[in-house]
Amino acid sequence: MIVIRTALVVAAAAAAAASDPAADADDVAPLTLLPKTTLGKCLDGTPSGYYLSPSVTAAARTKWILNLEGGGECASKDRCLSQLNGPLGSSKYFSKTWRMNQFLISRDSKTNPATWDWNMVHLPYCTQDLWMGTRATPSNQSYGLSFAGHYVLDAVVTELLNLPNGLGQATEVILTGESAGGIGVTPNVDWLHDQLGSQAKVTGAPIAGLYFYADPYTGPGHTSSDLADFREAAWPSHAQLWQPFVDQSCLSAHDSVAWPCMLANYSTRFISSQLFFTQSKSDQVVLTAHDWVPGDLKPWADVEQYIQVWQRNMTSALNGLSNQAARRGFFGVDCFIHTTFSPQAPLLPFHGKNVSFAAAFDAWYTDNEFVYLQDYGGVFSNPTCPK
Ligand SMILES: *[C@@H]1O[C@H](CO)[C@@H](O)[C@H](O)[C@H]1NC(C)=O
Ligand SMILES: *[C@@H]1O[C@H](CO)[C@@H](O)[C@H](O)[C@H]1NC(C)=O
Ligand SMILES: *[C@@H]1O[C@H](CO)[C@@H](O)[C@H](O)[C@H]1NC(C)=O
Ligand SMILES: *[C@@H]1O[C@H](CO)[C@@H](O)[C@H](O)[C@H]1NC(C)=O
C-alpha cells in the first residue's frame, strides 16, 4: 500500500515538473567546447562546441535530437571577415548556456509532443559553410579562415558516442536544423546513420532548408544578394572555398561534382534516411536575400508574378519528395516567413484540426502517418501566418 502511494506521488511530481518547464532547469544546457586540437573549428580557428540537455524521462534515454543552428553563409572575403567578431565566426562569443525552447528542441510536451523529453543537443553555427565544410587548414584561398562545419558535427558526434549512456546506445536519432542548419541536414544525415550502427533509426528534419538554385527577380525595384550568390553558376566557387562534405551516393551519381548535392531539391532522392521538411512556400530570406526581391515587395504586381513562379517551383519540389523510395513528409506554408515556425503559427489543416509544424511532425514521426501538407491558395494565402 505504502509502496504504491509513493510511486504515485513520484509519478505526480514528475508529471508536474514536465508540464511546467519553469519549475526546474531541464531546458537550460551548459556549453561544452571541443578540445583545442579538434578539426571542428570556427571560422577563426577557435574550437566549436555544443549544448547538451539530457533526456528527462526514462522512456527517452536512448533517443537523441541534434539541432544545427542557422545564420546565413559567407563566400566573399569581406562578409566572412565581418563574422569574426561574433558567435557566427568564433566560439569566443558563444553564450555559456542554451535554452531548449524552440523548434524540435523544446521541452514543452504540449507543443513539442514528438521529442520534448529526448536528449537534446544544440550545435551553434560558427563556420558559415552550411554545415558542410572540411577545410580545417586555413590558406590564402580561404582568406586565412577555416570552413569546417562537417568536422564540427563529426567532432560533436564523436564526443557524444564516447559518453556513458551516450549516442552509442541510441535507438532513435533526429538530425534537425533551421535555415543554414536546415540545408546542412540533408548532406549529413546518412553519414550520421553510418556513424551509429544499424540499430539506430535516423531521421532528418530540415526547417527552411529546402533549396534549389536561385533564378533572381530582375524586374523593377530588384535588389542584389545580401547573402551568397545561389545561382547555379556560383556554386563551383562556393564548393572550392568550403570543400563540402556531401552525401556520398549523391556525389557518385554526379561524377564527384559536389554542388548539386549541397541543395536538397537535387539531393534528397539519394538520401536513404527518412526526411520531414518544414518549409515556407514564399520564403522571406530566400526571396529577399538570395533572389533580389525588394524587402518592401514593391512594385507588388511585378514582385507577385515572380513569387508565383518561385512558389510553383517550391510546390513541385515538395511534391517531388512524395514519390521517392525512402519515407518523406512535409509541412509547406504560404507565408512570408523563413524560420518563424512556432506552436502558435503558422498552422495547416490536418484531420479536421489546425496543426503546427511540430504537431504535424509528431503525426508523421510518432504515429507513422502520411503527412504531405501544403497550402495551394497562392502568395501569402495561409490565414494563420505569424505577423
Ligand atoms: C599568402 O598571401 C600573403 C599576402 O598576400 C603572401 O605574402 C604569402 O606569400 C601568400 N602565401 C601563399 C602560400 O601563397
Ligand atoms: C528541383 O528538382 C527537380 C527534380 O530533380 C527538377 O526537375 C526541378 O527543376 C528542380 N527545381 C528547380 C527550381 O531547380
Ligand atoms: C523555376 O523552375 C524552372 C525549372 O527548373 C527554372 O528554369 C526557373 O529558373 C525556376 N524559377 C525560379 C524563380 O526559381
Ligand atoms: C483553422 O483555421 C482557419 C483559418 O484561421 C479557420 O477558418 C478554421 O475555422 C480553423 N479550423 C479549426 C478546426 O479550428
Nearest CA to ligand 2 atom 4: 266
pLDDT category, 9, cuts 50, 70, 90? very low
For position 342, what pLDDT does the model report?
96
Decide if pLDDT at 199 tops 90.
no
Average pLDDT on 263-276 reads 98
> Nearest Cα to 304, choosing from 325, 276, 282, 280?
282
Supply the Cα-derived Rg of the chain in whole angstroms.
21
For position 347, what pLDDT does the model report?
98
Ligand 4 close to Cβ of residue 137 (< 6 A): no
Q: What is the pLDDT of residues 322-381, one digit of tens each?
A: 999 999 999 999 999 999 999 999 999 999 999 999 999 999 999 999 999 999 999 999
Which strands form 97-99's sheet, in the order they lie side by side? 97-99, 28-33, 49-53, 119-123, 63-68, 172-178, 201-207, 274-280, 328-333, 372-374
Q: Who lines ligand 3 at CB under 6 A?
A: 215, 309-310, 313
pLDDT category, 86, cuts 50, 70, 90? very high
For position 225, what pLDDT does the model report?
84
Ligand 4 close to Cβ of residue 383 (< 6 A): yes
Q: How many domains does the chain have?
A: 1
Which atom of ligand 3 is the closest one to the Cα of 217? 13
Separation of alpha carbons 338 and 283, rounded Å: 5
In a domain, 56, yes or no: yes
Separation of alpha carbons 208 and 292, rounded Å: 18
Range(s) of the domain holding residue 263 = 26-291
In a domain, 350, yes or no: no
Ligand 4 close to Cβ of residue 5 (< 6 A): no
In a domain, 217, yes or no: yes
Ligand 2 centroid, distance to 315 Cα (angstroms): 10
> What is the model's pTM?
0.93
- Give the rounded percent of residues in the chain with a pLDDT score beyond 90: 92
CATH number at residue 205: 3.40.50
Side chain identity, residue 112: N
Question: What phi and psi values does residue 80 have, to the nearest 5 degrees?
Answer: -65, -45
Separation of alpha carbons 364 and 372, rounded Å: 9
In a domain, 244, yes or no: yes
Decide if pLDDT at 222 tops 90.
yes
Ligand 4 close to Cβ of residue 354 (< 6 A): yes
Ligand 2 centroid, distance to 266 Cα (angstroms): 7
In a domain, 154, yes or no: yes
C-alpha cell at 239: 564548393
In a domain, 80, yes or no: yes
In a domain, 239, yes or no: yes
Average pLDDT on 197-226 reads 95
In a domain, 230, yes or no: yes
Decide if pLDDT at 281 tops 50.
yes
Q: What is the pLDDT of residues 109-166, one digit of tens each?
A: 999 999 999 999 999 999 999 999 999 999 999 999 999 999 999 999 999 999 999 9
> Nearest Cα to 160, choosing from 130, 200, 104, 107?
200
Ligand 4 centroid, distance to 348 Cα (angstroms): 9
Which atom of ligand 4 is the closest one to the Cα of 384? 5
Ligand 1 centroid, distance to 140 Cα (angstroms): 6
